Amino acid sequence: MASVSPDTRFGLRRQARLPGPLPLSSGASLSPVDIAYESYGQMNADKSNVILICHALTGDQYVASDHPVTGKPGWWWRMVGEGRPVDPARHFIICSNVIGSCMGSSGPASIDPALGDPYAMRFPVLTIADMVRAQAMLLDHLGVNRLAAVIGGSMGGMQALTWPTLFPDRVERCVVIASTARHSAQNIAFHEVGRQAIMADPLWRGGDYYADGKVPSAGLAVARMAAHITYLSEAGLTEKFGRRLQGRDAKTFGFDADFQVESYLRHQGLSFVERFDANSYLYITRAMDYYDIAEDHGGSLARAFTATRARFCLVSFDTDWLYPTAESRAIVHALNASGAQASFVELSSPFGHDAFLLESPELNRVVDGFLRGGRA
C-alpha cells in the first residue's frame, strides 16, 4: 500500500513560495502559492532565451532531469537536452509543476495555512488558466518578462495555448503538440470514469486520507489504467500485446491477468500510485474538463488570439484519438482567421497520443526549425 505524504514522498528541488494571493477562475484565491520548478541552462543578458515547458496531466517539473521518486530520466529528454531542439546550451529552460499537482507545487496535499492540515478537498478547484497565471507569477519572481517560447504537449499544450490568450505580449512563440482548444464530451467522459474510480475507493474518504497514510491507491490505479488506454492506439496495443497470454500457455478460466495487455495495464496502475496523489488527479482532470478557450472569449476561438503577435506551431499525430488532428486544425483555422502566424503539421506515428513523448525525428525537426525561425 502506497502512502502519501508530501514532505517525504515527493522530492522537492527548487521551490518558490510566493505570497499571492493568486485570484482563481472560480472566484476563490490561493495564498501562499508554492511552485516547484526545475531550470536548465543560463539566462542570457537580454533575457531573450527563456523557454517555458508545460507538463501534462501526470507530468512534473522533471522534464530533463532524473525523477526523484522513480529514478527514470526526464519525461521529455528527447526534446529537452544537449543537442536537442530545446537545448540548455542555448536556452534558459524552466519547467514548473502545475498548481493542483503533488510534486512540490500547491495542491490538495499541501498544508492549508488556515488549518495546519492538508487541504484535501478544501483546495480550490482550478482551471488551466489558473495554472498559467501561477506560472506567470513564478516568471515575475524569477525576473522573466518575455518567453522566447512556451512549449507543451497534451495538457501542457493547453497551457501553452492559453499563455498568449492571457499574456499576449509575454510570448514570442507557442508550440502546442497533441492537444486541443477545449475538452470534448468524450474527454470529459473518460476523466469522469477515473474520478469515479477514485471516489468509489473506500479509502478515499471524501479526500481526507492524508493523516493515516491509507490512500485510495486501488481507485487511483483503475483511473490510471482507463486513462492509459486513451494514450495508446488500437494498432499500437495490437502490435505490442495482441492476444498473447502473460507467462502461461493456456487461459486459466479465472480472473488473473491472463493477457499481456491486462498485466501491462495493472503494472501501469500500480507504478502510478507510487508517485501520484489521488486528490491531485481529481483536481487536474477537473481543470482539463473546464478548459475551453473559445468559451472564455465569447464563443470565438479566433478572438482569443487577436491581441498576440506570437508565432504558433501546432503538431498532431494521426493515431491520436484522445486529441485528434481535427482539434489542432480547429485551432489553426482560428489562428488563420485572426491573422496569427501559424504552422501546423500532422505527423504519422503508430503510438497514439503518447507519440509526442516518444522518439520522433520529424517532431524534433519541426520544433527545432520553428524555434530557430522568425528571430526578429
Partner 1 sequence: MSDLLRPDLALIARTVRPGTRVLDVGCGDGALMAALRDTSQVDARGLEIDGSNVAAAVGRGLSVVQGDADTDLSYYPDASFDYAILSQTLQTTRRPDLVVEALLRIGRQAFVSFPNFAHWRGRLSLLWGGRMPVTRLLPDTWYDTLNIHHVTVDDFRALVKDRGWTIDGQWFLKGDKETTHANANLFAEHAVFLLRR
Q: Which residues sit in the known binding site for substrate?
A: 224, 354
Q: Pattern of binders to partner 1 over 225-264, x per CB under 8 A?
A: ----------------------------------------
Active site residue 320: yes
DSSP assignment of 102-169 equals: SSSSSSTTSEETTTTEE-GGGSPP--HHHHHHHHHHHHHHHT---BSEEEEETHHHHHHHHHHHH-TT
Tell me which residues in 257-316 interact with partner 1 (CB under 8 A).
311, 313
Enumerate the known binding-site residues. Answer: 224, 354
Task: Provide the 10 A C-beta neighbour count for residue 282.
Answer: 24
String of DSSP letters for 29-72: EE-SEEEEEEEES---TTS--EEEEE--TT--S-SSS--TTT-P
Cβ(248)–Cβ(258) below 8 Å: yes
Judge contact between 151 and 282, C-beta under 8 A: no
Provide the minimum distance between the beta carbon of 52 and partner 1 in the complex, in angstroms, as a whole number.
Answer: 20
Report the residue from 163, 272, 290, 344 that binds partner 1 according to the rule CB under 8 A. 344
Active-site residue, 353 included: yes
Residue 49 interacting with partner 1 (CB under 8 A): no
Helix (H/G/I), strand (E/B), else coil: 80: strand
State which of positions 184-223 bind partner 1 (CB under 8 A). none
> Which span sits near partner 1 by CB under 8 A: 38-46, 234-242, 245-253, 328-336?
328-336
Contact partners, residue 19, CB within 8 Å, separation at least 6: 31, 32, 33
The SS3 assignment for 3 reads coil
Q: Which residue has the cell 479465472?
A: 254
Residue list 353-372, contact with partner 1 (CB under 8 A): 362, 365-366, 368-370, 372
Among 347, 353, 355, 357, binds partner 1 (CB under 8 A): 347
* DSSP assigned state of 282: H
* Residue 374 binds partner 1, judged by CB under 8 A: yes
Of 154, 233, 280, 360, the active-site residue reads 154
Considering the rule CB under 8 A, would residue 51 count as an interface residue with partner 1? no
CA 122 to chain centre: 22
User: 503510438: which residue's cell?
Assistant: 351
* Residue 329 is a binding residue for partner 1 (CB under 8 A): yes
Contact between 332 and partner 1 by CB under 8 A: the answer reads yes
Q: Are 331 and 301 in contact (CB under 8 A)?
A: yes
# residues near partner 1 by CB under 8 A: 25
Q: Does 173 bind partner 1 (CB under 8 A)?
A: no
Torsion sign over Cα 201, 204, 210, 212: negative
* From candidates 28, 240, 337, 350, binder to partner 1 by CB under 8 A: 337
Binding status of residue 348 toward partner 1 by CB under 8 A: yes
Residue 344: CB minimum distance to partner 1, A: 4
Tell me the catalytic residues.
Answer: 154, 320, 353
Q: Which residues contact partner 1 by CB under 8 A?
A: 311, 313, 329, 332-333, 336-337, 339, 341-348, 362, 365-366, 368-370, 372-374
